[in-house]
Structure 1
Amino acid sequence: MTTIDPSIPPSGPGCLDCDAAGGWWVHLRRCAQCGHVGCCDSSPAQHATAHWNATGHPVVRSYEPGEDWFWDYATGTAADGPELAPPLHHPADQTAPGPAGRVPADWRSHIH
């Protein structure tokens, strides 16, 4: 089974599921197999983990500026991976947590 496809671009600049629901995220993770961008496990909705559970795609890469690490949900360990198709992170002017305008003032009380 192929768990990383370096030719697939990310699904967008933010968590696809949070954007659809009008939600917000703390940090972003990019599926290394299909490019789906989801929110991290500190985020209220934990969409990156939900994507793994729904699809079986185990490897994600950080989608944060300055971070290039991979994580394998199946093993619960850091993973190695190739350079992925750009962009490698969300827009640098996008806030974390984000996106700006949807993050509640008391966001820290909502994280895991």
Structure 2
Amino acid sequence: MTTACAHLALSHPVTPSAEGCEECLRSGDEWVHLRLCLCCGHVGCCDDSPNQHATRHFLATEHPVIQSFEPGETWRWCYIDKLFIP
């Protein structure tokens, strides 16, 4: 399995925008898991969540790489390459 991704170069240390999904916190909705955009720090909910805000953020911004924002998880995902990065 390839773990190299050219889009990782667009990632850098970020400050999370919120402790939970930014949009769900504003609307009062719930989420399943959280994802952190490694380009800007946006915290959004995963695709198992009703609103899928992490993917919506990617579609709006084209920021390609997210990381799990769950305690103890450090994996990343590239939306463009559809690549899991341990």
**TM-score bucket (shorter structure):** 0.7 to 0.9
| 1:35 match: secondary structure | coil
| 1:23 match: secondary structure | coil
Q: Does 1:13 align with 2:19?
A: yes
Q: Does 1:3 align with 2:10?
A: yes
- How many residue pairs get aligned? The number is 79
* C-alpha separation in 2, matches of 1:30 and 1:66: 14
Q: Which runs of 5 or more residues in structure 2 are unaligned? A: 1-6
- Cα distance, 1:20 vs. partner? 1.0
Say which one has the larger Rg: 1
Q: Which runs of 5 or more residues in structure 1 are unaligned? A: 81-112
- 1:1-112 residue pairs with structure 2 within 5 A? 2-6=9-13, 8-79=14-85
TM-score for the superposition, normalised by structure 2: 0.86
The answer to which structure has the higher helix fraction is 2
Please, what is the CA RMSD of the aligned residues?
Answer: 1.3
Identity of counterpart residues, as a percentage?
Answer: 52
TM-score for the superposition, normalised by structure 1: 0.67
- Cα distance, 1:79 vs. partner? 2.8
